[in-house]
Amino acid sequence: MGADEVVAVLALAAMVVTVLATRAPVAELTVGTFAAGAVLVTGAVDTAAAEHEVRALAPVVVFLVAVLVLGDAAASLGLFRGLGSHLGRAARGRPQRMLAATAVGASSTTAVLSLDATVVLLTPVVSTAAEHQDLPARPHQVACARLANSASLLLPVSNLTNLLVFGATGLSFLGFAAATAPVWVLAVLGEYVILRLWFRRPLRTPGHDDPAPASPVPRVPLLVVAAVLAAFAVTSPFGVDPAWVATAGAVVSKSTVLNATAAREPSIEE
């Protein structure tokens, strides 16, 4: 093993240890910057090759940031709170129905807004909805976690890995969805069956039929998400990168949040 390979291995090890040990963004950024500089200075990675990879990955990173902003804005506008309320009311204290509703909600959220939205934004409201009915939260938390992975097979935007390979497939947005739909359905159904068997004991104990007060699903974020999803399909045949569409959706959603916040704040004259 040459010196440049040793540097590359040490740089990777330092990055992994930092992520596992600290979970601090500043530390990760600092170590990552020094690690990247080390592999470039020692020649472990060619500058031209590094530039090529950065250009290739930039749209994916932009897409990830935009989707996270879009999801956060939708959460601020009450989309996930409303969804959690509807899941709880559909369950009516029955753990099996709650698990089925969670599976549908997690699968849909993952497919449309990516797995990150399911883990970060949907899981907390599902847990709250279950606990409010005296249902064990763990089966539904695990359902969200597992379906955030398995249900991310459907669309190019459901998973960053899908987005990376999407361009190489030569398929359109809808063509990709059509190709992956059978596997997606089998994966979601398989996960649901496994979860029913895995948590069969806690799912036998009913809760109480007293769901949380109804929280309506707001139309604005729902329409924005639907419009973004439709734009993915419409612009895909023209070679428009999904990052641009996601960014536009994030800007619209964030502007809506800011306008709603400003409308709620009292004016200085008042």
Is the pTM of the predicted complex or chain greater than 0.75?
yes
* 237, 58 contact by CB (below 8 A): no
Mean pLDDT of 257-268: 70
Among 259, 235, 260, 261, smallest CA distance to 247 is for 235
List alpha helices for 22-137, DSSP H. 25-41, 47-76, 79-91, 95-113, 115-117, 123-132
C-alpha 123/C-alpha 75 separation (Å) is 12
State the average pLDDT for the chain. 85
Tens of pLDDT, residues 172-209: 888 999 999 999 999 999 999 999 999 999 888 887 76
Residue 106 has pLDDT above 90, yes or no: yes
pLDDT of residue 7: 84
Tens of pLDDT, residues 119-173: 888 898 888 888 888 888 899 999 999 999 999 999 988 988 888 888 788 888 8
Tens of pLDDT, residues 55-73: 888 888 888 888 888 888 8
* 7 C-beta neighbours (distance < 10 Å), count: 19
C-alpha 53/C-alpha 36 separation (Å) is 13
Sorted by sequence, the CB contacts under 8 Å of residue 236 that are 6+ apart come out as 172, 173, 174, 242
Among 113, 115, 198, smallest CA distance to 151 is for 115
Report residue 140 as tokens: 């539904």
C-alpha 103/C-alpha 195 separation (Å) is 10
C-alpha 85/C-alpha 93 separation (Å) is 13
Residue 266 has pLDDT above 70, yes or no: no
Q: Which amino acid is at 152?
A: S
For the chain, which residues make up each domain, given as ranges?
Answer: 3-45, 56-264
- 185 class by beta-carbon count within 10 Å (0-12 exposed, 13-18 middle, 19+ buried): middle
Tens of pLDDT, residues 16-54: 898 888 878 888 889 889 988 888 888 888 888 888 878
